[in-house]
Amino acid sequence: MAKKTLTERFIQNSVAERLNKEYYRRKPAWVTTEEYTKLKRADVFLAFMRARKRPYVVVVEAKSRTTIHQLKLKEAPRQTRWAGRAITIVFIVGLSAVLGYQWYFNAVNTLLLLGLFVLGSSLISAVLSKLELSALGSISAIEQLGRYPANEKWIAVGEDTFVRPEEYKTLVDQCKKNGLGLIVVDAKGRLKRKLIPSPRHTFNNYLGNYSKESKILSAIDKPADYGPTPPERAKQRRQLLNATALLAVIGLLGLVSYEENYRPVIPDPFSESYVDLENAEIDSVAVPKPAMPADTGAAAGALEVEEPGPDAEDCSSLSVERRSFIVVDALLNPRNSSKRLAELEGAGIAGFTAIPTDCLNSWPEPGRHAVYLDSVFSHRPAAKRYANAHRDRLNKAGIDFRYGKVVKIRPR
């Protein structure tokens, strides 16, 4: 004797009996089967008060082996056409960008563009239709459930509804895509919640769309167990987790930016010690001279670099082993850089030299010379303080201020 399959009525009654009792646990609640809206019928209907004067509606669509044709994936022509149009637009824009073609909207170009769009969208839509992609398909039961006004929506099936596992997997994927819950009912009427629904419009009054609104309200509009439903709490946990992850990413990027532009957050115990730049004193008048180490001690964190040789294109004078900073006075062509050095020398501002900007990694102005202080700073704040001191000296000497910024350099 063949095993009897689970009927749709059995699935409905099992869900109506157990869903609120085992999952929502709301009192008072209105639970019934085959509740009618003004146009549609919900297989299982559950209503309770989410908050004071705020009814909450849950509906379930039940399907069995006899109605399995409504659970099979079918082509959605409208979605396929829109996908074909979108892909065609992206293809035309991408092809125009690659080829460097500029569209001028005269009669010829307009006709050509419209022809490409119509032909391309038709061909791509036909290809997508042949591929039978699940993302562009739909299931009749899900479309039907989408017409029911409710805050949460479920589909309930029997454990013997599907014969082929791939059809069940397709239903799971479609439920995930549409934010629906999925319940599997076994032969003893027990419920297995495979997916939980995504709550929609928590405080919308969907109860007003049902024919028995006043009767239902009179039954549930009493002192009740207010608060979010289990799917709402799961959604809140996901939102909190996403917010935490976003803040963690922002914090990590902030730390990376801080280390890149200032100093390591956690100093390397095997490297040179870091000075307290906030309390360090810097002489705002005296400029360190590379030939006299005693004068360069005024700039905290400065590391001496060898005097550049006679070859102006030699980058060895600015060789560093880790991220460092220099103070750039001006960016000039080679002839004017020599004049600038002479001008600074004449004003008693020593310690500056010139180097090609090509020696500075990723410098945006190649072919020029950077007039810079011939000292390398291990920390940006130290270099920034010296840049401010250099600006003061230029003002006192009556020399025009050119660039005067701190530039980061990296090992080559």
User: CA-to-CA distance for 412 and 210, rounded, in angstroms?
Assistant: 73
Question: What's the rounded Cα separation, in Å, for the pair 166 and 149?
Answer: 30
Indicate whether 56 and 196 sit together in one domain: yes
Extract the residue ranges of the chain whose pLDDT is less than 50. Answer: 1, 269-312
What is residue 11's predicted lDDT score, i.e. its pLDDT? 94
Cα–Cα distance, 79 to 138 (Å, whole number): 9
Q: How many domains does the chain have?
A: 2
Q: 315 and 204 in one domain?
A: no
8 Å CB contact between 360 and 376: no
Q: Is position 273 within any domain?
A: no
Q: Is 260 inside any structural domain?
A: no
CB atoms within 10 A of CB 412: 11
Q: Is 319 found in the same domain as 212? A: no
299 & 218 share domain = no
| 269 belongs to a structural domain | no
Q: Which of 198, 225, 252 is the last residue of a domain?
A: 225
Q: Is residue 249 part of a domain?
A: no
22 and 157 in a single domain? The answer is yes
C-alpha span between 124 and 87 (Å, rounded) = 8
Tell me what pLDDT residue 304 has.
42
Q: What is the structure's pLDDT at 261?
A: 67
Smallest Cα–Cα separation from 45: which of 177, 204, 210, 238? 210
Is 71 exposed, middle or buried (CB count within 10 Å of its CB: 0-12, 13-18, 19+)?
buried
> Distance between CA 78 and CA 221 in Å, rounded?
42
119 within a domain of the structure (yes/no): yes
Which helix (H) or strand (E) is 63 found in, with range?
Answer: strand 54-63
Number of other CB atoms surrounding residue 401 within 10 Å: 11
Residue 371's pLDDT is 87
Listed residues 225, 252, 269: the one ending a domain = 225
What is the pLDDT, as a whole number, of residue 299? 41
**61 shares its domain with 161:** yes
* Dist CA 55 CA 79 (whole Å): 34
pLDDT of residue 300: 39
Q: Say whether both 84 and 164 belong to one domain.
A: yes
93 and 200 part of one domain: yes
The CA distance from 30 to 40, in Å, is 18
Tell me whether residue 281 is in a domain. no
Two structure tokens written together for 103: 């569209």
Classify residue 37 by its DSSP letter.
B
Q: Which residues contact 210 (CB under 8 A, 6 or more apart)?
A: 35, 36, 37, 38, 45, 57, 149, 216
Enclosing domain of residue 329: 295-409
Task: Look at residue 368 in the predicted model and tell me its pLDDT.
Answer: 82
In a domain, 98, yes or no: yes
pTM of the model: 0.57
Q: Distance between CA atoms of 30 and 220, rounded to whole angstroms?
A: 7
Compute the distance between CA of residue 179 and CA of residue 153 in angstroms, rounded to an integer: 8
End-of-domain residue from the set 207, 225, 243: 225
Q: Do 166 and 37 belong together in one domain? A: yes
Q: Do 90 and 191 fall within a single domain?
A: yes
Residue 3: per-residue pLDDT: 67
Residues 19/60, Cβ–Cβ less than 8 Å:
yes
CA atoms of 119 and 97, how far apart (whole Å): 20
Q: Is residue 82 part of a domain?
A: yes
> What is the reported pLDDT for 21?
94
